[in-house]
Amino acid sequence: MAELWLDTSWSIPGTELTLRFVRSPGPGGQNVNKLATKAEVRFDLAGSGALTGAQKRRLARAFPAHVTHSGEFVVTSDRHRSQKRNQWDALAKLADMIRSIRRPPKPRVPTRVPAAAKRRRVADKRARGELKRQRRGDE
């Protein structure tokens, strides 16, 4: 299989990818009973040299349902009636998933509510409460 290009400087070698076709429950009528059109792309995540250890962990954490016990990352497609279109769709899905974890997420920097905003909120609450008390009248 040819290598999978993720962008101009980043690719997955074809030796780390395995493609096979299986019978599909997807669209195609009687065609699905005769032909294996569902594409299944397996990526050797555990033995990959194209991703760093951190990227492998992020990919496994982001898409746990796609990781097998043996360390393979499996993506399938049965959206189309032809093998070729399903193959391209599965490869595109895999590329999108890998691109999404390329860089680590930015760490969240907790912010504090300014003291002036807290005072304003409390003052507004007091004013609203006072307005409601005035409406009640004598009981």
Could you give the CA distance from residue 60 to residue 42 in angstroms, rounded to a whole number? 14
What's the rounded mean pLDDT across residues 82-108?
A: 90
The string of pLDDT tens digits covering residues 3-33 is 777 776 778 888 888 999 988 776 667 776 7
| Encoded tokens for 133 | 């008390």
pLDDT for position 86: 92
What's the rounded mean pLDDT across residues 55-67?
A: 92
Percent of the chain with pLDDT over 90: 50
Start-to-end CA distance of the chain, whole Å, equals 85
Dihedral angle at the C-alpha atoms of 30, 31, 32, 33, nearest 10 degrees? Answer: 60
Could you give the CA distance from residue 42 to residue 27 in angstroms, rounded to a whole number? 23
Mean pLDDT over the full length of the chain? 87
- For residue 77, name the pLDDT band (cuts at 50, 70, 90): very high
Q: How many CB atoms lie within 10 A of CB 82?
A: 13
Name which residue leads in pLDDT, 3 or 136.
136
pLDDT for position 28: 66
134 to 114, 128, 131: CA distances (angstroms): 31, 10, 5
- For residue 121, name the pLDDT band (cuts at 50, 70, 90): very high
Q: Where exactly are the structural domains of the chain?
A: 4-100
- For residue 120, name the pLDDT band (cuts at 50, 70, 90): very high
Domain with residues 4-100, CATH architecture:
2-Layer Sandwich (3.30)
Query: What is this structure's pTM?
Result: 0.70
Cβ atoms of 74 and 63 closer than 8 Å: no
